Structure 1
């Protein structure tokens, strides 16, 4: 088996919390990422999912070395880049590029689109002016835009078009890894599907690997090969897509899947929303961090921190009771007939379409 393109082990990022105006003093640390480990193979899409504030985006920034890790290791293409100085990161940054969440804030409003896309090539010394212009036109066509768009400014485009420009900029230097930090969460639902389909098409054509950060499990199901679920700075479950959606083993994963909206207003949910509050990342509990919200909690959960352990081929779960808990049916993922009211409306609509 070939070595993974990206290998992360026990990654940590603790932000200091200071008090005082003149004589500030560190009074604690926010454990934003606290012992995260995963592998990403060449040509694979690994989705990192979880609630807002769980540490997904911080993990992405650590992988890109936009933040300095507190602990752990990051290996990219066989090279340990955890402590690589900033002066030596240029060739590494060329091989892994980001696509940001907000297409309105991630593009310089004072630069035309052609220059925005060409800027990474200028930074890395790729080609001359003529070859860069030709490459910009090629990239615009690749992402579904026209060459004449290179002369326009970001404010002249819609949100979906701006995200396409951001994708073109990320591809300008031929990266091997693209880190997508919630790339469709700021877009309309119909535009989300277009951008996700574009990312999948580009992956097949260019052999890209994606680290896909998201909180929308419906989008993740369409784009990912494997999924890692994060909660309060930790990964609580990792599995291939089919295993995680078909047989989720961690109670938190089950709650996330049950929260996917059902496209029928009459149907009731089989599982209520999670109660309780997320513990403070400054002072996480000693045992399972999900214990305060878990409906299956026992005394051991509050005292002993669970570790990821295998539950099948490629399926890892951090739960003391994973073997004994039942696997619930997730109604929002299973095919189901429409409710009687919806069925009547569909039948009436069909009659109108076929009536002379």
Structure 2
């Protein structure tokens, strides 16, 4: 991607959830779902956010959209700080920031027709007359590959792939600049996944959309992303362009992820299989220092004591690992 002003910037974002137990719901700790992450997304760019289930990637996407309130950090959209805006002040920004949900079966209101679901954002934001809104719905149905007459049907009358197309049409209704895609194809068959990914790619090229694409499937991430951020236990451990990540991963966790899946690359042939020991630690009781040191085959004493900063090791290639501490600390991962 060319160097340009970011559409959205996230700086040291944290989201903690209190853990309450007992009859009176007293506090007994916090889940550190997102633990100080920084990244930026440029106009027209797809940033893939990948990691194991429970690493905090979906929470990061929801915090970016202010669907959950961040505990700390800063979110800037087109240069404006939106981190602590109240709901009336956030309303104009919500038109430009939309979301595609993971589950096409649970994300659609079964009591509304497909057309009403797609029209709802236009009604909430009081955009256009009823006739104009209906015309917009027809256009959106055609754009995502659905027949206009299908807008009168209810969600249960559609397949999973068709339901996700309805969700995409709903996200496009307000002509957003940024869409957070929260595992949008993980609940679909493989053949349908390819259709949805191709649709999202076509829409990006046509409309200049930016995506934060949250997924755990590396094959999907490799296909759609320009840059990739790898998360582990609430932190970003590596961030670089797609080619660098898949051909020359620098973080031991990224190496382990890539070795666990078949990658159709000549450079990946013969890659050593990395088997991690132990389980992912609890986000309530995180390890000291580097969160990954309890499972890392290269861990040493410093890893247990000192948290590694996300540093630029090469141009545009950032990694949080004491094995690569030669570069300067870089608090914000800007697009290249």
1:108 has 2:113 as partner:
no
Q: 1:314 aligns with which of 294, 298, 316?
A: 316
Offset, 1:268: 9.5
Look up the match of 1:337: none
Offset, 1:262: 6.4
Look up the match of 1:289: 291
Q: 1:15 aligns with which of 14, 17, 41?
A: 17
Offset, 1:269: 7.8
Look up the match of 2:330: none
Offset, 1:63: 0.5
Look up the match of 2:329: none
Structure possessing the higher radius of gyration over alpha carbons: 1
| Contact residue 48 and residue 212 of structure 2 kept, 8 A | yes
Offset, 1:76: 0.7
Q: How many pairs align?
A: 320
Q: Deviations over 1:258-295 (max 9, x none)?
A: 111368xxx99831432211112112111111111111
Offset, 1:19: 2.4
CA distance in 2, matches of 1:297, 1:269: 21
Alignment TM-score, normalising by the size of structure 1: 0.87
Q: How do residues 34-53 of structure 1 correspond to structure 2 at under 5 angstroms?
A: 34-53=35-54
Compared with structure 1, are the counterparts of its residues 172 and 21 closer, same or farther at alpha carbon in structure 2 (3 Å cutoff)? same
CA distance in 1, matches of 2:302, 2:46: 35
Q: Which ranges in structure 1 are unaligned for 5 or more consecutive residues? A: 325-356
Q: Deviations over 1:53-99 (max 9, x none)?
A: 00000001100101111100000111100000112111111110000
Offset, 1:117: 0.4
Q: How do residues 163-174 of structure 1 correspond to structure 2 at under 5 angstroms?
A: 163-174=164-175
Look up the match of 1:304: 306
CA distance in 1, matches of 2:48, 2:255: 16
Secondary structure at the counterpart of residue 254 of structure 1: helix
CA RMSD, Structure 1 to Structure 2 (Å): 1.6
CA distance in 2, matches of 1:262, 1:225: 17
Look up the match of 2:231: 230
Compared with structure 1, are the counterparts of its residues 157 and 268 closer, same or farther at alpha carbon in structure 2 (3 Å cutoff)? farther
Look up the match of 2:157: 156
Q: Which ranges in structure 2 are unaligned for 5 or more consecutive residues? A: 327-336
Q: How do residues 204-283 of structure 1 correspond to structure 2 at under 5 angstroms?
A: 204-261=205-262, 270-283=272-285
CA distance in 1, matches of 2:74, 2:82: 8
Q: How do residues 170-181 of structure 1 correspond to structure 2 at under 5 angstroms?
A: 170-181=171-182
Q: Which of the pair has the greater relative contact order for Cα pairs under 8 Å at 6+ separation?
A: 2
Runs of 4+ in 1 over 6 A off after TM superposition: none
Secondary structure at the counterpart of residue 324 of structure 2: coil
CA distance in 2, matches of 1:259, 1:304: 28
